Amino acid sequence: MSNAHAANKSSLWDWLTTVDHKKIGILYLISGGFFFLIGGLEALLIRIQLMKPENTFLTGDLYNQVLTMHGTTMIFLAAMPIIFAFMNAVVPLQIGARDVAFPFLNSLGFWLFFFGGVLLNLSWFLGGAPDAGWTAYAPLSTTSSGSGLDFYVLGLQIAGAGTLIGGINFLVTIINMRAPGMTFMRMPLFTWTAFITSGLILFAFPALTIGFFLLMFDRVFEANFFDASMGGNPIIWEHIFWIFGHPEVYILILPAFGIISEVVSTFSKKRLFGYSAMVFATVLIGFLGFMVWAHHMFTVGLGPVANSIFAVATMAIAIPTGVKIFNWVFTLWGGQIRFTTANLFAVGFIPTFVMGGVTGVMLAAAPADYQYHDSYFVVAHFHYVIVGGLVLGLFAGLYYWYPRMFGKMLNETIGKWNFWTFFIGFHLTFFPQHFLGLMGMPRRYFTYPEGFGLGSMNFISTIGAFFMTIGTILFVYNIIITHAKGKMVSGDPWDGRTLEWAIPNPTPHYNFLQTPLVRGLDALWIEKMAGNKKMTPAEPVGDIHMPNNSILPFIMSLGFFIAGFGFIYFNKGGALALVAIIVGLGIGLVCMFLRSWIDDHGYHIHKKDLPKEDKGADL
Amino acid sequence: MNVGERLTDQNFPESPEKATLEGKNKFLGFWLFLGGETVLFATLFGTYLGLRNSFGKGPEASEIFQLPMVFAATIILLTSSLTSVYAVLALKENRVKAMRGWLFVTLLLGLSFLGLEIYEFIHYVHEGHTFTSGAFGSAFYTLVGFHGGHVLFGCLWLSTLLIRNSGRGLTLYNSPKYYLFALYWHFVDVVWVFIFTVVYLLGKVG
Ligand code: HEM
Ligand SMILES: [Cu+2]
């Protein structure tokens, strides 16, 4: 039908309307990467301010805004989207599918995230950013003046809806779209972690959705949820936030676990050690992740019984996590290890993440947490797990899957410089912060007095931040060089083991000419060992059904973006704000209506337009 | 067979809503979505339970709740669940007219429920129980209002479905759409049963 000719249209239009998981993955990567740079810049400003005692580079409310936006941006607008970039780019290929279950919703999820992120960041130009921390505790958040917190609530609400949609999409994709023979216990570990992470998204994000509604109602419509003088209770916000928030940290780290598992196994030329234990540990971590939220609230005064239960539950998570650590080490053990950049990041990840886990268990000891809480010790902990864990994992994934996503391999020499500067910079930045915390330096303060002995370690920490900046710049430089000078590589540049390496480069629009037949774990490796050059097909070459592109997701998200503005200025904007709300929500509803009204059966790529036979990765 | 083709009694599959991969995906995806919705309402219920005795400047729950009216609303909504079950039974047997008839009754019942709810809210506001009169008021209108919003959305959805497919038979393309609506409607009903118990009955006993 009409879409078969989409290629003739302008390429901007193609990007706005695409429902192809490969392109949506690239969109996620570019926008997530962009927000990562913004968040990184904010981090650098924070570190410059803290470089020496009583500094006046960035103080007071502006410091609070930069700090809040750093955390919020990194979690919601950088880490989550880059994870979704990999899920889009890799999961359908790893399970031998031609697309995700809901290509239209996939696009909608991306555009909601994108417009939500833009809305939040526009606050910088419209009277000031949110300033109550990424956790937005009430009543600080309900009483914060200006519109910053309104941007926070509405921007994240819109972005969060996109995330939820993405989560459901990947759950259904993984359950329903696996190629013949791809049983659950043959799925690559990255797909497994994407699966569990999607499940966590499904059950954690709706809590946050409600939290944001309550906060918005308190701020915009004068509700009293968190206003103690009217019978409200600010502790409810903390519960809701952390019922979402702790699963969220596992939403972030599980896909990194998956990436590390793929990379370590490929570059050790070995099957992942203890595959089924790895799967079980992933499921268990996901499950336990919902039962520990109150470890963020030990000092609230929930009582010794509640604190003990949550302390023990928290410590229990260290067990499945430890299982994973050992399995990675045993995978490397005796393997033919290749220290590619991806593998360097993976190997760097292992001890770094262990350190974050150890401080986690320390924090989980409730009585001791009265000392650590809200100090730099906590800052050190979560940066070890998020930067030392997640971000190193994301870098490993980028270097590993770049050839799959873009057809070219990132430069390995620059890559190694990238790794060492970032890795050393990371430890330089965050290791001293453990001790700063133990010495009593509180988090989120914009300065510290002279004469407390905090100066030198803060200085080292700032130097480390500059090293990480160099590492990031090298990475950006690497991307530019690669696209300018790099050569196309084969479809299987790493001697891969899983299905995403079984197809030609660049990946055809329809992914697999013939759906592959999966005969075991590490499906491609099994065929290689059997002396086959490519996968055994599960079907003859035939017509391929594909979904139609659509502009509706973009317009729908734009509608909610406009409505978001209306709500933000509801109390100050008068009639104009009301118009924005009505028009914006109207656009959203009309798009939903159109989606329901217009029959959309997709189209077929006909057999005569396809290659005669599947040539595998080396087409 | 083309998914847009009208099904006949001869080629009618056992479960037309799950006969295609798209149908299967929608079916599963919608169940998962309802799982997320459960968390959404659970959070609202939790918040409500935490604040249900914090009346602030407003009247107490036991003073204002009007059980007879709420009971009527409950009966209406439960009946609408029953009619949507009849619609699904008709769908499974390719009886399009009967299915659309039952869905139309479902729509009418949904709209009457909404009418009663709006009337109830107006009544409460006159009694001084408002969104801003205290934490209880905020929690009450948010929880019950979210449910009402779901009913409203369901009515809009169902109207679109009925108008769009008027004069069309069942196909592999539209059967999942009808079926998912019925799932949604049951979910909204079940939530109401909890609201009736947790908000109204519990509110009456104090
Ligand atoms: C062995 C596993 C872990 C344990 C036992 C653990 C334990 C804890 C505890 C008890 C706290 C609260 C400290 C306080 O506020 O006083 C905390 C904070 C935090 N953890 Fe972990 N954690 C673990 C793994 C992780 C992972 C994997 C991540 C993310 C990828 C993470 C991210 C965070 C964040 C972001 C905070 C601070 C939140 C804030 O207050 O802003 N943790 N952790
Ligand atoms: Cu936690």
| B3/A210 Cβ within 8 A | no
The number of the ligand 1 atom at minimal distance from the alpha carbon of A75 is 35
Nearest to A206 among B25, B40, B136 (CB): B40
Residue ranges covered by each domain of chain A: 3-550+600-609, 554-599
Residues A192, A174: Cα–Cα separation, whole Å: 9
The CB of A252 under 6 Å from ligand 1? The reply is yes
Measured from the alpha carbon of residue A67, the closest ligand is: 1
The number of the ligand 1 atom at minimal distance from the alpha carbon of A295 is 10
Model confidence, pTM:
0.95
**Region of poorest pLDDT, from A14-28, A122-136, A154-168, B10-24:** B10-24
**Contact between B29 and A601 using a beta-carbon 8 Å cutoff:** no
Tell me the per-residue pLDDT of A276-316, one tens digit each, with 9 for 90 and over.
Answer: 999 999 999 999 999 999 999 999 999 999 999 999 999 99
Counting other chains too, the contacts that A355-359 makes at CB distance below 8 Å and 24 or more residues apart are A355/A384, A355/A388, A356/A381, A356/A382, A356/A383, A356/A384, A356/A385, A356/A388, A356/A389, A357/A318, A357/A321, A357/A322, A357/A325, A357/A385, A359/A384, A359/A434
Give the architecture-level CATH label for domain A3-550+600-609. Answer: Up-down Bundle (1.20)
Asked if A568 and A147 touch (Cβ cutoff 8 Å), the reply is yes
Can you tell me the distance from the alpha carbon of B174 to that of B5, in angstroms, rounded to the nearest whole number? Answer: 10
- Where does residue A571 rank: exposed (0-12), middle (13-18), buried (19+ CB within 10 A)? middle
User: Whole-angstrom Cα distance, residue A293 to residue A285?
Assistant: 13
* Mean pLDDT (whole number) for A352-359: 97
Model confidence pLDDT, tens digit, residues A9-36: 568 999 999 999 999 999 999 999 999 9
Ligand 1 centre to CA of A603 (Å) is 47
A223 contacts B132? CB cut-off 8 A? yes
Residues composing chain A: 619
| Token digits of residue A365 | 């000891």
Of A142, A29, A131, the closest CA to residue A72 belongs to A131
Q: What is the pLDDT of residue A3?
A: 44
- Would the CB of A321 count as within 6 Å of ligand 1? yes
Cβ contact (<8 Å) for B54 and A231? Answer: yes
Q: Is the C-beta atom of A588 inside 6 A of ligand 1?
A: no
Cα A194 to Cα A201: distance, rounded to the nearest angstrom: 10
- What single DSSP character describes residue B133? S
Contact predicate A247/A290, CB 8 Å: yes
The C-alpha atoms of residue A231 and residue A221 are separated, in whole angstroms, by: 16
Q: Which helix or strand (DSSP H or E) is residue A544 part of? A: strand A544-546
Output phi, psi for B134, to 5 deg: 170, 175
Measure A382 CA to ligand 1 centroid, in angstroms. Answer: 6
Choose one of A74, A80, A249, A323 to mutate for the ligand 1 pocket test, by most ligand atoms within 8 angstroms of C-beta: A249
The answer, yes or no, to whether any atom of ligand 1 lies below 6 A from the CB of A249, is yes
Residue B84 has a CB neighbour count (10 Å cut-off) of 28
Give residue A405's pLDDT.
97
Shortest CA gap A302–chain B (Å)? 15
Contact B177 A217 (CB under 8 A): no
H or E element at residue A546: strand A544-546
Q: Residue A6's pLDDT band (boundaries 50, 70, 90)?
A: very low
Between CA A52 and CA A60, with CA A57 as vertex, the angle to 5 degrees is 105
Whether A202 lines ligand 1, by a CB cut-off of 6 Å, is: no
- Roughly what angle, to the nearest 10 degrees, separates helices A148-176 and B21-51? 140
Name the helix (H) or strand (E) containing B117: helix B96-126
DSSP code per residue over A459-520:
HHHHHHHHHHHHHHHHHHHHHHHHHHHPPB--S-TT---SGGGSS-SSPPTTS-SSPBPP-S
Give the one of A101, A164, A227 whose C-beta lies nearest to B36's C-beta: A164
Overall average pLDDT of the A60-73 stretch: 97
Closest atom of ligand 1 to A71 CA is 41
**Atom 20, ligand 1: residue with shortest CA distance:** A382
Non-local (6+) Cβ contacts of B123 within 8 A are: B66
The answer to whether the CB of A388 falls within 8 A of the CB of A468 is no
Backbone phi and psi for residue A546, each to the nearest 5 degrees, phi listed first: -130, 150
Q: What is the mean pLDDT of residues A443-467?
A: 96
Q: How many CA atoms lie within 13 A of A111 on its CB side?
A: 24
Q: Residue A407 region, left (φ>0) first, then alpha (ψ -120 to 50), else beta?
A: left
Interface probe, candidates B1, B47, B144, chain A, greatest A C-beta count within 10 A: B47
Which residue type sits at A211?
Answer: G
Query: What's the whole-number mean pLDDT along residues A427-456?
Result: 96
Instruction: Return the residue whose CA atom lies nearest to atom 14 of ligand 1.
Output: A373
Domains and CATH numbers, chain B: 16-35+65-205 (1.20.120.80)
- β-strand pairing of A544-546 with A603-605: antiparallel
pLDDT value for B9: 87
Mean pLDDT of chain A: 95
Burial classification of residue B64, based on how many CB atoms lie within 10 Å of its CB (0-12 exposed, 13-18 middle, 19 or more buried)? middle
SS3 A223: coil
Question: Ligand 1 in contact with A378 (CB < 6 A)?
Answer: yes
Q: Do B161 and A596 touch (CB under 8 A)?
A: yes
CA angle A80, A316, A249 (to 5 degrees): 10
Is the CB of residue A251 below 6 angstroms from any atom belonging to ligand 1? no
Q: Which phi and psi angles does B44 have, rounded to 5°?
A: -65, -40
- The rounded distance, in Å, linking the Cα atoms of B2 and B22 is 13
CA–centroid distance, A379 to ligand 1, in Å, is: 9
pLDDT tens per residue across span A228-249: 999 999 999 999 999 999 999 9
Q: Is the pLDDT of residue A363 over 50?
A: yes
Cα separation of A415 and A434, whole Å? 29
- Tell me how many residue pairs between chain A and chain B have CB atoms under 8 A apart: 116
pLDDT averages per 10-residue partition of chain B, 206 residues: 82 89 96 98 98 92 92 97 97 95 98 97 95 96 98 96 92 94 97 97 89
pLDDT reading at A370 higher than 70: yes
SS3 for A375? Answer: strand
Residues having C-beta closer than 5 Å to ion ligand 2: A 246
Q: Write the CA distances from B3 to A271, A548, B23, B157, integer angstroms.
A: 43, 15, 10, 21
pLDDT at A254 over 50: yes
**CA–CA distance, A393 with A397 (Å, rounded to integer):** 6
B-contacting residues of A 211-240, CB under 8 Å? 211, 213-214, 217-218, 221-225, 227, 230-233, 236, 239-240
Whether residue A1 is predicted with pLDDT greater than 60 in this model: the reply is no
